[in-house]
Structure 1
């Protein structure tokens, strides 16, 4: 039999199908807890041999269930959200979504192996996600400093004029209110808020620097080959790892990595015109990381510059050349990931 699960924050709804006929054997709701995962697996196994389970939301609400099933040697496939037109025609409910997930797994429509949630890649993902939030909050705090300055009293604004960003933050952090002041005094309040915002930026700077150090240590230990690739730094390596996942065998080739990174060319030929166009799907953050690798190589990597000159002479535009380079970079990154992750698995 084949299972399907519609995941939610507090509960998961499971369905079981007969593998030979696709007949619905049953559906049931379980709590989204460790005990609920065990009950769900026991319930599914009561129908017979469990071939695989299609799970929605393996990257969010279904991550715990995925770990439990995989720890019990159950094949898990990732099910994407159903087509909206089909959902309008058939309706929506938790049992319907669970049955559709099982049918997607049975038919092979859902065949993607989800990324593993155990290992150093998950640690990299969590650190990067937290650092991204800190960087966003830092940017907002700096914008607020400038906003307060624009409306601050003239003497304070003139005193802080001409400072660069880092110097302005350091200077605002040292501002002190008078010994005796009224909370409703706008001039004093402006000084206090500037100091508060500046100290927030300094705290976020420390948090971001700590996250960078942690990423450097993890990536140098586990992915030396990836970091050795030309133009690949900590940020790009972390993004590529997060997109690919630690279980790289779920990607059958470097073409699959190119597809999920959005750099696989899409045929756009018609009549006598044979060409390919930009692929706008895939992980756009990974696509951006690969784009920056190519831009860095265009600036100072001699073989890349020679390739650009050659392709330009053949009549290719700069955009087309960059697309070709991005595809070649993915091939190089895939081989580096293979080397690093195989070493990690062997050492584990």
Structure 2
């Protein structure tokens, strides 16, 4: 196919995404399979994939699996270079068992899903403020879970702790309990269960405090439209962080 012939036809692309490489394929507007090729998941690989697509004609759209995972960066790249990217669902397990797993077949299937209209979803761009908040929420949510686990462990240890430990902290609120335990300076030896419990409770309390600080630093500033994390709330525009 000459360069002039390539510019006269329209094609649809399909991509089966992976960790180290993406399998690309192109079909024409009547569904005929034209070519398939693997490309590395690197900036150079993305440029070569884009050039390879262009060499087959005018790209109407590109169907891609995994735009929110393995293909997230490639989807951003293609979108940034003017291509329409369509989210394609992975073939169901029954279909995979019946037809076998094949990267070229899956890439062609992604392109065919776009051509047939079966796939028409626009993937999230995963950029800007919305993506920044999503990333922050991943760490924030894990901090919340770990913080809850820490206080649950503290309360569980308090139930079975020797009375001298249990009675000392009985009735304290969570805030007061954490603060008191974190400031404590137990003395003794590790053969004494009461001392070991006190040391463990202090470490768990300090872990809780660290996680609580992490949670607050990752919480979006209230009342802001910029979506800045709380740790940046007091920063002035243009002021170095």
Q: TM-score range by the shorter chain?
A: 0.7 to 0.9
1:100 and 2:112 are equivalent in the alignment:
no
Within 5 Å, which residues of 2 pair with 1:326-337?
A: none
Q: Deviations over 1:219-239 (max 9, x none)?
A: 62359xxxxxxxxxxxxxxxx
Partner of 2:203 in structure 1?
196
Q: In 1, distance between residues paired with 2:209 and 2:102?
A: 48
1:89 and 2:98 are equivalent in the alignment:
yes
Segments of 5+ residues of structure 1 without an aligned counterpart are 224-348
Q: In 1, distance between residues paired with 2:196 and 2:149?
A: 19
TM-score normalised to the size of structure 2?
A: 0.84
| Match among 126, 147, 163 for residue 154 of structure 1 | 163
Partner of 1:216 in structure 2?
221
Partner of 1:58 in structure 2?
67
Q: In 2, distance between residues paired with 1:184 and 1:191?
A: 12
Partner of 1:14 in structure 2?
24
How far is 1:216 from its partner? Answer: 2.2
| Match among 196, 199, 213 for residue 206 of structure 1 | 213
Relative to its length, the structure with more helix (as a share) is: 1
- The ranges of structure 1 where at least 4 consecutive aligned residues each deviate by more than 4 angstroms after the TM superposition are none
Partner of 1:271 in structure 2?
none
How far is 1:150 from its partner? Answer: 2.4
Partner of 2:89 in structure 1?
80
Whose radius of gyration is greater, 1 or 2? 2
Q: Deviations over 1:66-114 (max 9, x none)?
A: 1110111011011112233322322222222212111111111111111
Q: In 2, distance between residues paired with 1:114 and 1:94?
A: 21
1:133 and 2:142 are equivalent in the alignment:
yes
| Count, aligned residues | 217
Partner of 1:329 in structure 2?
none
Q: In 1, distance between residues paired with 2:195 and 2:213?
A: 27
Q: In 1, distance between residues paired with 2:78 and 2:137?
A: 27
Partner of 2:4 in structure 1?
none
Q: Deviations over 1:314-337 (max 9, x none)?
A: xxxxxxxxxxxxxxxxxxxxxxxx
Q: Deviations over 1:226-285 (max 9, x none)?
A: xxxxxxxxxxxxxxxxxxxxxxxxxxxxxxxxxxxxxxxxxxxxxxxxxxxxxxxxxxxx
1:177 and 2:186 are equivalent in the alignment:
yes
Q: In 2, distance between residues paired with 1:164 and 1:207?
A: 21
Q: In 2, distance between residues paired with 1:6 and 1:57?
A: 8
Q: In 2, distance between residues paired with 1:175 and 1:10?
A: 50
| Match among 122, 128, 131 for residue 122 of structure 1 | 131
